């Protein structure tokens, strides 16, 4: 609803996020190639998630996985090529407000 919202001591950002359904993805990717695909899923959904993003990953696309562990890299490298996959790490820091 609100897009990507980042709150940081270094400055806040609010970025609109475009979304697309799986059926429309191949046509959209053919029209305008993706620079970056951010992949975040549970480990048990990795295989179907790789299939889902595949139409968006072209010759100049980078895949940035944000998942727990390291086991997903072999599958991503095998599907998209090692040079197309970045290392990703995510820390979640949360506080409870009043």
pLDDT digits (tens, 9 = 90+) for 1-43: 788 888 888 999 999 987 888 899 999 999 988 999 999 998 8
Task: Say if residues 79 and 54 touch (Cβ distance below 8 Å).
Answer: yes
The pLDDT score that the predictor gives to residue 89 is 73
Q: Is 52 helix (H, G, I), strand (E, B) or coil?
A: helix
In the predicted structure, residue 85 carries a pLDDT above the cut 90: yes
Reported as type and span, the H/E element at residue 5 is: strand 4-6
Q: Within 10 Å of residue 65's Cβ, how many Cβ atoms? A: 23
| Sign, Cα dihedral of 43, 48, 51, 56 | negative
pLDDT digits (tens, 9 = 90+) for 52-84: 999 999 999 999 999 888 889 999 999 999 999
Residue 88 has pLDDT above 80, yes or no: no
Q: What integer pLDDT is reported at residue 18 of this predicted model? A: 77
């Amino acid at each position: 609803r609100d897009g990507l919202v980042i709150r940081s001591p270094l400055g806040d950002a609010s970025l609109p996020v475009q979304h697309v359904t799986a059926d429309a993805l191949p046509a959209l990717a053919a029209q305008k190639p993706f620079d970056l695909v951010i992949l975040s899923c549970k480990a048990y959904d990795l295989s179907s998630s790789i299939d889902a993003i595949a139409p968006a990953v072209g010759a100049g696309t980078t895949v940035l996985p944000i998942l727990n562990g390291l086991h997903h890299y072999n599958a991503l490298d095998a599907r998209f090529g090692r040079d197309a996959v970045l290392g990703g790490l995510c820390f979640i820091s949360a506080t409870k407000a009043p």
